[in-house]
Structure 1
Amino acid sequence: MAKTIYCRHNTELTVPFFDVDSMHIVWHGHYVKYLELARCAFLDALGYNYTTMRAHGHGWPVVQMQLKYVQAARFGQPIRVEVQLVEYESCLKLDYVIYDSHSGRKLTRASTTQVAVRLDNGEMQFQTPDSWQQAVKHYLAAQAA
């Protein structure tokens, strides 16, 4: 069965010097930072970022992450991180592909899953809050228009 991709968002970055090792190759742990930067840019575009999530009484911890390194990114390389929203009703699941911006070569594939947790009592929610779902639906409608 094909995966539903509700929407996509792209973030352009350039690999900074402090992210690479002596071979000028990005250290594997920094890819997580690139995912976070792209996720935050997507949430800002959606109009429902981490500040808004907290204001609605929820934290959204990452409960699962997967990465597959295809080809190394290097110092000074322009990269594009594509975020794909694949689930938003039971959790926030995003798939990512990191590309070389110039050639379009795929560098990394990844996914993250986040769940809503009530801030007042730490209880994990098995359905995402209505405010989140409405924000996503509003964003999807605006993208379709």
Structure 2
Amino acid sequence: MKIKKHIYCRHCSDYEVQFFDVDSMDIMWHGHYVKYLEMARCAFLTDINYTYDLMREQGYAWPIVQLNLKYVKPARFRQKIRVNLAVVEYQSCLRIEYDIIDIASGSRLTKGATTQVAVALDSGEMQLQTPRSWCKAVEAYAGFTPSDLP
């Protein structure tokens, strides 16, 4: 039996694949997919009013500690893509799952996930719980759905 993950909130961002992101065959180079995940994550952080600048002001860095990507179909030069993200954990870390889709057809191009942890800038220690201010920002997001688990 597969346990269904709870999705706390969703966000989407649209982009056009740029020339500087493709190889000689007009296919997006595999390493650039990470950049589009980051742009979508930054758009989400802006929407919840908890940007990387605010994280730093509050004394935390949020490094990526895990990244997973599965390439399904190539993204091509000038293709319109949508990065859908789903926050699946925010209290002990920030875990986001992503789907990059072709806007025209709706077909999946890439599936991915990132995990970030809060690290205190003054001590360099990884935090076992995310800062309360972070939790409040996520919980105040208009699309937030609390878990029904205790």
Q: TM-score normalised by the shorter chain: which range applies? A: over 0.9
Q: 2:16 aligns with which of 14, 17, 20?
A: 14
The alignment yields a C-alpha RMSD, in angstroms, of: 0.8
| Equivalent runs, 1:24-39 vs 2, <5 Å | 24-39=26-41
Q: 1:83 Cα shift?
A: 0.8
| Identity fraction in percent | 60
Q: 1:143 Cα shift?
A: 3.1
The aligned residue for residue 132 of structure 1 is 134
| Equivalent runs, 1:51-90 vs 2, <5 Å | 51-90=53-92
Report the secondary structure of 1:43's partner residue.
helix
* Equivalent pairs, count: 142
Q: Which runs of 4+ in 1 moved over 6 A?
A: none
1: distance between equivalents of 2:143 and 2:90?
16
The aligned residue for residue 118 of structure 2 is 116
Show CA shifts across 1:85-118 (max 9, x none): 0000000000000000111010000000000000
Show CA shifts across 1:10-49 (max 9, x none): 0000000111111000000000000000000000001101
Instruction: Name whichever structure is richer in helix by fraction.
Output: 1
Q: 1:105 aligns with which of 95, 107, 124?
A: 107
Unaligned 5+ segments in structure 2 are: 145-150
2: distance between equivalents of 1:8 and 1:99?
15
The aligned residue for residue 143 of structure 1 is 143
Q: 2:6 aligns with which of 4, 28, 44?
A: 4
2: distance between equivalents of 1:135 and 1:78?
30
Report the secondary structure of 2:143's partner residue.
helix
2: distance between equivalents of 1:45 and 1:103?
27
The aligned residue for residue 147 of structure 2 is none
Q: 1:7 Cα shift?
A: 1.0
